[in-house]
Structures are given as C-alpha cells and as structure tokens.
Amino acid sequence: MDRNQLVGIVLILAMLVGYQLLVPKPAPEKQAAQKTQTTKPTSESGAEAAISKAELPLDSAVARARFGDFATVATGENRDIVIENKDIKVTFSTHGGRVKEVLLKNYKTYDQKPLVLIDEKSSKTLLELPTNHGKVDLHTLYYQSTTQSGTVTGQAQQIVFQAEIAPGQSVEQVYTVPAEGYVIDYDLKLNGLNNTLANENIRFFWEDKMRQYENDLANNRRAATINYLTADENFEKLSEGESNQEATLEEPVQWFTIKHKYFLSGFVAKNSPMPKADFKTLVDPADSSVVKRAVADVTLPMSDVKSGKAQYKFFFGPNDFQLLGDVAPEFDQNVYLGYSILKPINKYFFVPVFNFLEKFISNYGLLIVALVVFVKLLLTPLTYRSYVSMAKMRVLAPEINEIKERVGDDMAKQQSEQMKLYQEVGVSPLSGCVPVLATMPILFALFMLFPNLIELRQKPFLWAHDLSTYDAFITFPTLPFIGGHLSLFTVLMTASSIAYAYYNNQTTPTQPGPVNMKALSYIFPLMFMFVLNSYPAGLTFYYFVSNIVTITQQQLIRRFVDEGKIRAVLDDNRRKNASGQGKKPGGFQALLQKQLAAADEARKQAEEAQRKAKQKK
C-alpha cells in the first residue's frame, strides 16, 4: 500500500470518526427563526391542558358554557370504525371524528409484536376551531357516521363523520382510505357556519409519544426527529440526537413528519400551506418506554375551510424511499441518503440497483454479496490502474532506495530526486492515488445508506437476526468505546482489512518518511472496529465481502501484469526523455516538479550563504 492510498484511508477514518463525534450533538438550525430548547418543560402547554380537560365527563350546563352553539354535539355515542386494506388497519372514532389507531400490517416491532404506529395512549390531537364565542376543539365533539367496519377492496373507501350543530349547520370530516398503501386523504368541511366563525386560522396540535420499534434505544433516539418542508421547498428538520429541540417558524409549511428510524407519521397540505408551525422533540432520559415526545403545533388556513379547499393527507407507513416520492413534493427526503455530494450516488445508483437485485434475490445476505461483486466489476478499471501503479513503484524500489542512501535523511532532497526519477521514467506520483480517491465516494455513500435502508430491517442472514442493526454475537457489561456487545461481522471485517493490509505490504515498497505507514495500515482497521461495532450488520458484512473480493480481484489482476514488461517500458521512457524525444510532464506533475525545483534552489542558496558566512569568520 503506497502513501497515496494511505492518505485516502486517513481521510476516510477522519470523516467516520468525525461523523461519530458530531452526529449525537445537536447542530444549530438554518432558519433564523428557529431556537434550540435544552430543558424539558415542567408545565402543560395550552393544547395539552385542553386535551386533558376534554377527557372529563360533561353535563348539559357545562357543555353549553364550554361549547356554546356546539353543545348539541358535545355528548354522544363513542363508536369505533375499523377500516383496513392490505397494508394498514386504521381505527376511526366517532368521538372526535379522528384517527384513533394505526396498525402497520406488514411490519413487527423488534420483539415481534404488532407494530402500532399510533394509538390513544401514545398519540393525542387537538383541532381547535375559533368561533365568535371562543375556541372549540373539533376532536372532542361527537359525530355520526353510516360507515361500518370492513376491508377496502377495489376502489378507495370514504368514511364521513358529520356533527350537526343545527339545521343546515354541520362539521364534516371526510377520510379516504385506499385499497393499498399508506396515504389517507382528509377533508375538513364547515357547512353553514360562516357567521359563527372568528377571523382566525384553525389550530392543529399533534403530540406523539414515540414508541420503540428497534432494539437499540440510543440509536432510536438519535434517529427520531420531526422533518418538514417549507413553502419554498426547503427541506428542514429538528436536529437529531438525544437532547430536546424546538423550531418556531413564521413561514408556511407544506408538510411535516414525525420520523422514527424506519417509520413515519405525516401530515400534508394539498392546497395552501400551513401558515405557522411550532415543532418540538423532547427527551426524558429516565423514561425508557418512550423514545421521544414529538409535538407539532401548526395552523390551517381558515380561508381554505370556507372555500372548501381544506384538503390534506395523512401518511402512516414505512420510511421507504420507493414509496415516498408520490406522497408530496420532496417527501422522499425523509429517507436520509447522505450529504448533498453523496446523495446522487445513493439516489440514482445504489437504491435502484438494490431494488433491482431484490426482484431476483430474496436472501439479503446474498443480495449484498451480489451488490459487492457488481460494484467491484464496475470499478475494475480503477483497481487495475491502481495495481499497475503499485507495480511501477515496486520496479523503481531499488532506485528509490539508492536515492535514500545517496542523499541521506534530507527529506526535501529525497523528494526532489524522486520527482526527477519519476520524470525520467514517465511515472506520475498521483497515478495510484486517483483510483483510490475515486472509490472513496462509494465507501462514504454506503456508510450513509445502509443505516437508513428499511429493506434490511428484520432480514436475517447467518447468525445475524436483523441486518439493519448490529449482530450482538457476544454480549457483556458496557465497556468504553465498544459498548456492551461485540459484532462478529465487524470482527470479520477487521480481520479481512488486516489481511488486505498484509497482502499490500508484501507487494508495496516501504516509502521514505518519518512515519511507518505499513504499521499504520494495521492500526487503522482496529480503530474502525470500535467505530463500526454498533453499525448495521449489513454494512460491516458489505465491507467484509468487499475486502475479500478486492484481494481476489488483485490476485487475478496480478496474473495479467508482467513487471518485466513494465521495467522495459520505464527504461524505454528513460531513453526517450534523455534524448529529448519523450513527452514533457504536464498538469500536477509539472507543477509539483516546479515547486520542488524551487525548493531545491532555495536550499542550495541557503547552503551557499552558510558557506560564505563560515569563510568570512
């Protein structure tokens, strides 16, 4: 492994370690109006108090005093209506005309229990209507519905909830459940109530005590957040991590989602965006039963309600990139695909290739093997160039050692003499570095992609029960840097990395310098083991297979590279350059040679000045 390759590895290590150190820490939000909350509120907000008050029983006098014209629908029958399709089971309630519970039929929790995304215990909502006599929570009223429980087949099914205030005056909430999928359309209608309404927007408050669906609570908390899209289509989110966060926006919002690691509960405005929004994620470290408490407090335009354009969508489903594109603009950004420079690699290459391979390979461990082989075949030209570059360095090793013996420990002169040698034989010092640097975006893209691939969730392979999380092959009391488990796939990845380093060190000449690069090539894999021990087994398995394939690939390439022919080519270049027939160096090599020549000239001048100073003495 030459110095250029090791520089690439150092860069990878620096970014991975930096990612580990920086991700858990909340970063300031971009919006100027946002502010970070670092302490948990100890008192109930107005919406929370209103929800608690709404749960108390009412008599007619209290109902009249509290609800005014809406008192006629402040009491009634509480009936559940269960509607399901092939993907979700939704329970609606006539008390509030609201979504009471959502069960995702195709998924289980980490301990194989039914995955209930929201229910009455975890999720509370308030839909506050401003009237001339005060504010009324529409989710505390009682509605009538002729819909019966059942399964949606064929066409989508509408569930209409109507609360008749007086003859010709009513509130309607209309839900449309499709025959498949996770999007529920929602329309809010106020019939004949224009004279009753105040000139304010409607308030929609949603609090969700996010449940734990994956095995690693700390990782769940780091991933849980609220995402949202502003009216000018800027995707934003509350900072991920294990601290409290808050964002108060004065600009309109098109949609927001309460995001678990792999699942979403979202609300989308079809027409006019929500004029104002306040989002919070609150963490109680002492409460392990709740991942985070997510609070969304937004306003819905009254003008849309009066004009019959109060149309929205609920999304209750998996955070699956393939499903989100059609929900709303930029909705697929809920799946984090890496930094902006890496996102196109995942979005336009790895995700489509992964989903293509899914059609033919049902075992996800074998699918990862196929993905490695496919990527390595595409990168074969770069691997070949890198190997040829190392072969050239091996051929030149005796001459480089001779330079070192001749000039001694003068590093500047060593580098200058080496550049002259490279120019004589037509070798670029970057020829081995460029292929390595070109593969770095692939490594980074996969590092960002695998922890967010729901396709790997609860997919077993060998001893790993779930490729989307670490394989706890051995568990023990929590230790610094490594945690309370040891991942066998990470150990195998480390062993294969050391084997690859050993193989390279046997075929790569020692480079001059104050640092023993060959020794570092064994240390880096051990450091990576601590970094990746808690990362998904699918990622470390990919890196393990990638190392094995790379060693095999280089063994095959070695059979086609004749170092004797390389020596002949270098000698021929030397003769041509000596006779003036060779190509002049260009690009970076020429610039570097110029700089080294200038440094050499400066060194000679300094030595001459010292010599003259000694003569004067």
pLDDT digit string (tens) for 109-119? Answer: 999 999 999 99
Contact 50, 137 (CB under 8 A): yes
**CA distances in angstroms from 108 to 174, 214, 535, listed in the order given:** 29, 10, 21
Distant-in-sequence, close-in-space partners of 104: CB < 8 Å, separation ≥ 6: 87, 88, 115, 116, 117, 182, 263, 316, 317, 318
pLDDT greater at residue 461 or residue 423? 461
Q: What's the one-letter identity of residue 250?
A: E
pLDDT, position 514: 47
Which tops the pLDDT comparison, 41 or 95? 95
Quote the pLDDT of residue 31: 39
DSSP output for 322-338: HHHTTTSTTGGGGS---
Beta strand 245-249 pairing with 80-84 = unpaired
Output the pLDDT for position 28.
Answer: 36
Q: Tell which wins on pLDDT, 171 or 592.
A: 171
Within 8 A by CB and 6+ apart from 392, the residues are: 425, 427, 431, 566, 570
What is residue 476's predicted lDDT score, i.e. its pLDDT? 79
Q: Determine the Cα–Cα distance for residues 48 and 41; give it in Å rounded to an integer.
A: 12
Burial class of residue 354, CB neighbours in 10 A (0-12, 13-18, 19+): buried
Position 236 pLDDT exceeds 80: yes
Instruction: Report d(CA 113, CA 110) in Å as an integer.
Output: 7
Convert the pLDDT of each residue in 564-606 to its tens digit.
787 787 777 777 766 665 555 555 555 555 665 666 666 677 7
Backbone phi and psi for residue 527, each to the nearest 5 degrees, phi listed first: -70, -40
Rounded Cα distance, 368 and 164, in Å:
58
Residue 13: band (very low, low, confident or very high) from pLDDT cuts 50, 70, 90: low
For residue 316, give both structure tokens: 């209750």
- Whether residue 477 has pLDDT greater than 60: yes
Number of residues in the chain: 617
Cα–Cα distances (Å) from 316 to 38, 456, 463, 543, in that order, read 29, 20, 32, 34
Angle at 554 between CA 451 and CA 528, to 5 degrees: 35
Which has more pLDDT, 504 or 122?
122
pLDDT of residue 504: 73
